[in-house]
Amino acid sequence: MAVLNATEIMQLIPNRYPILYMDYVDEMIPDDRLIATKNVTINEQFFQGHFPGNPVMPGVLIIESLAQAASILILSSPQFKGKTAYMTGIDNAKFKQMVRPGDVLKLHVKFGNLRENMGTVKVEAKVGDKTATQAELMFVVSPDQK
């Protein structure tokens, strides 16, 4: 059973179709970690051009999916409620396995360092038990309300 469904996710982050890359949040421990799910289907717009006859989810969109999952974790903290989180950097990104239509992408996020309104999260996208992508993302939370 999902902790957050798509409607609840959209109450936390500003992303909307066609650039909302998450279906639901499976597990969340606020201020610690989160696991979310993206069901990858052949109907995704990006598969039309990436690549015809050999559909592969672009790595940049896997990172975007992970950033959105990170935003949910970050903005679930009481100190950041109602604000917007922005990605400010990516370190040590590794792409280890292609993501294809029919894959269930599990987005794992773990808080790293946090100082005032900025910090890091460690992220990993998995298909089954295999790592597709991993990285460390830096973020800043805007001081203004949405």
- At 8, list the tokens: 């609840």
Choose, from 3, 15, 31, 50, the residue flagged as catalytic.
50
Q: Say whether 50 is catalytic.
A: yes
Query: Model's pTM, two decimal places?
Result: 0.95
- The answer to whether 117 and 140 have CB atoms below 8 angstroms apart is yes
Per-residue confidence band for 143, with pLDDT thresholds at 50, 70 and 90: confident
d(CA 18, CA 20): 6
d(CA 40, CA 57): 8
| Cβ-Cβ contacts under 8 Å for 67 (sequence gap 6 or more) | 87, 123, 137, 139
- pLDDT for 87: 97
Q: Each residue of 104-124: pLDDT tens digit?
A: 999 999 999 999 999 999 999
| Cβ-Cβ contacts under 8 Å for 100 (sequence gap 6 or more) | 40, 55, 56, 57
Q: Each residue of 65-109: pLDDT tens digit?
A: 999 999 999 999 999 988 999 999 999 999 999 999 999 999 999
Q: What is the CATH number of domain 6-141?
A: 3.10.129.10
- pLDDT for 118: 95
- pLDDT for 1: 65
- pLDDT for 145: 58
Burial class (CB in 10 A: 0-12, 13-18, 19+), 11: exposed
- Provide the 10 A C-beta neighbour count for residue 96: 12
- pLDDT for 2: 82
d(CA 105, CA 24): 11
